[in-house]
Amino acid sequence: MSVGAVHIIGAGIAGLSAAVRLVDVGLKVIVHEAGSFAGGRCRSYLDPTLGLVIDNGNHLLLSGNHEALDYLDRIGARETLHDPGAAIFDFADLKSGERWRLDLSEGRIPWWLFDRNKRVPGTALGEYFTPLGIFIKGRGASVGEAMGCEGPLYERLWRPLLTSALNTDPPESSAALTAALLRETLAAGGKACHALFAGHGLARSFIDPALAFLAARGSSVRFGDRLRTVRFEGERAVALDFDRAQQELSADDFVILSVPPWIAKDLLPGLTAPDEFRAILNVHFQIAPPLGQPAILGVVNAEIEWLFAFPDRLSVTISNADRLIDRPRDELAAEIWREAAELTGLPVDLPPWQIVKEKRATFAATPAQDARRPDSRTRWDNVVLAGDWVQTGLPATIEGAVRSGYKAASIVMASGANAPSRRVMSFSR
């Protein structure tokens, strides 16, 4: 069969990456976004309190995130990411005052482990092989069942890294998801672990170039276009009921549903999807970082987990943050700034601040919730799912979101593989 119009519901990273792939091969794409902006949880906006453009969260890529980097290459935005040129991670222990830097070997052989000065302070070589159990345990196992979750190395390396990647307390997290994550990053060597981040805002890297790419090819996003109902007949979706109008679907039209799981469950009868989530808390302070402040600082023995330094502000990210979501905002900002001031040497007077709370930032990366993630294909012939919550093999990350968008696009393109007027591309470049 040929492919007619492809209606993409949701203009987050998953939806935009699917749209870019489909437009790239000449298909007609219509993106519908319920909100007034694109990007979903990966967006930038002008905050009136600070008078600054801030991100709703601090996201970064690693150089081993190949699908996400392919997406940036397609929309011409790879150069907007800051690349330190090496796999370097600065850490600080707020309690002891110790500072250290992990400088990983570029190749697959971890030569850095044999240099005591390059290891985490207070750790021995043998401790670094503890996570090997993660690769052995079955899909239903947790990290806590696969490795020891205690001791200096766990507290100073594995806990901060895994918490930020999984947004779930590591002992209860899926060993399978953790193994997939480590296989594509640390196990691939330092060359896959360069920390790349959008120094000028998420929108300028991931969103605005994608919108410009689509617009240049006649596929703009329809904002304020909320989908209320999908109507089905037999094995196909036949109409989309939006707030403003109804969209009838022709026999060769497709729908890519790229919305949060709780919305997808309302739209698709009988869909099984994650139903347990974890929060992320971000705090932005309107103050210039001190000279020499690392672009990204991992912090242990503190509420702060990661401290990001931008030219006009300091930003804090705290993952697995359900415990903090209901705390009074003023109290929380003051407590976090006291830690930030101690880490940076800046004055203790609280600068202008803004807190951004994402209560359902990601699905809980537990074995039980991972088992609830649906496949991209649905029981309806012309409805496909995208989003970091579908089965991507990864936790809820930007790489996972792009991977889901690419897979959804590939399913649609494969449906038109025999149509002579279509040029179908492979899954990745």
- Predicted local confidence at residue 422, as pLDDT: 36
What domains, with CATH codes, occur in the chain?
5-42+202-275+366-415 (3.50.50.60), 88-193 (no CATH)
- Predicted local confidence at residue 10, as pLDDT: 98
Q: What is the mean pLDDT of each run of 10 residues along the chain (429 residues)?
A: 88 98 96 95 91 88 96 97 92 96 91 89 90 88 95 94 96 97 93 91 95 94 97 97 95 97 98 98 97 96 96 96 96 98 97 96 98 98 98 96 98 72 36
Q: Which letter, b or e, does each residue of 188-201 get, where b requires 16 or more Cβ atoms within 10 Å of its Cβ?
A: bbbebbbbbbbeeb
- Predicted local confidence at residue 351, as pLDDT: 97
- Residue pair 229/267 in contact (Cβ under 8 Å)? The answer is yes
- Predicted local confidence at residue 118, as pLDDT: 87
The angle formed by the CA atoms of residues 401, 130 and 304, to the nearest 5 degrees, is: 55
- Residue pair 261/275 in contact (Cβ under 8 Å)? The answer is yes
- Predicted local confidence at residue 349, as pLDDT: 97
Helix, strand, coil tally for the chain in percent (to 5): 35, 25, 40
- Predicted local confidence at residue 417, as pLDDT: 58
- Predicted local confidence at residue 58, as pLDDT: 86
Convert the pLDDT of each residue in 258-311 to its tens digit. Answer: 999 999 999 999 999 999 999 999 999 999 999 999 999 999 999 999 999 999
- Predicted local confidence at residue 421, as pLDDT: 39
305-309, Cβ contacts within 8 angstroms, sequence gap of 24 or more: 305/160, 305/163, 305/164, 306/58, 306/160, 306/164, 307/340, 307/343, 307/344, 308/58, 308/197
- Residue pair 395/365 in contact (Cβ under 8 Å)? The answer is yes
- Predicted local confidence at residue 59, as pLDDT: 85
- Predicted local confidence at residue 117, as pLDDT: 85
Tokens of 350: 């609280």
